[in-house]
Amino acid sequence: MYVCICQAVTDRQIIAAAERGTERLADLRKELGVPGDCGRCGHCAHALLRQVIESRRPQAVT
Ligand code: FES
């Protein structure tokens, strides 16, 4: 699914970037150009990054 129409960047590309260690939206912008000038994808791209980062964290044992 396209997250950023302007730069033609998909969710898979963002997930792959996060799995390579990209954690900040500023770094994602350098790597993939997302979010670009219109910025409409910024919230979705950031949420996707956070989702991957959170899934990598070890779960607390309760
Ligand atoms: S939709 Fe990503 S910069 Fe426009």
**Gap between the Cα atoms of 35 and 47, Å rounded:** 12
Q: What is the chain's length? A: 62
Pocket test for ligand 1, best of 7, 13, 32 (most atoms within 8 A of CB): 7
Specify the residue with its C-alpha closest to ligand 1, atom 3.
36
- 5-61 pLDDT per residue, tens: 999 999 999 999 999 999 999 999 999 999 999 999 999 999 999 999 999 888 777
Given a cut of 90, is residue 62 above it in pLDDT?
no
Find the 13 Cα to ligand 1 centroid distance in Å: 14
- Quick one: pLDDT at residue 58? 83
Distance 27 CA to ligand 1 centre (A): 16
Across-strand partners of 56? none
Inter-helix orientation angle 42-56/25-32, to 10°: 110
Domains assigned to the chain: 2-56 (1.10.10.1100)
What pLDDT shows up at residue 36? 94
Q: Which ligand 1 atom is the nearest neighbour of the CA of 37?
A: 3
